[in-house]
Amino acid sequence: MPRRRLLSGLALLLPALAACSTGPVPGEGTGEPLRLDYGPDPSQFGELTLPAGDGPAPVVMVVHGGFWRSSFGLELGRPLAVDLANHGFAAWNVEYRRVGNGGGWTATFDDVAAALDRLADADPRLDLERVVAVGHSAGGHLVAWLAARPGLPAGAPGAGPAVRLRGAVSQAGVLDLVDAVEQGVGGAAVTDLMGGGPREVPDRYAVGSPVARVPIGVPVVCVHGTADGNVPIRQSERFTAASGDELVTLPGVDHFAVIDPSTDAWRACRDAATRLAG
pLDDT in tens, 149-167: 999 999 999 999 999 999 9
Give residue 7's pLDDT. 46
pLDDT at 11 over 50: no
pLDDT in tens, 97-123: 999 999 999 999 999 999 999 999 999
pLDDT in tens, 125-141: 999 999 999 999 999 99
Measure the CA–CA gap between 230 and 232, rounded to whole angstroms. Answer: 6
What does pTM read for this prediction? 0.91
The confidence band for 10, taking pLDDT boundaries of 50, 70 and 90, is low
Measure the CA–CA gap between 85 and 181, rounded to whole angstroms. Answer: 36
Alpha helices of the chain — where are they, by DSSP H?
A: 3-20, 78-86, 107-117, 138-147, 177-183, 189-194, 202-208, 234-243, 264-277
Element (H or E) spanning 167, and its range? strand 167-171
Give residue 211's pLDDT. 98
The confidence band for 31, taking pLDDT boundaries of 50, 70 and 90, is low
The confidence band for 83, taking pLDDT boundaries of 50, 70 and 90, is very high
Give residue 15's pLDDT. 44
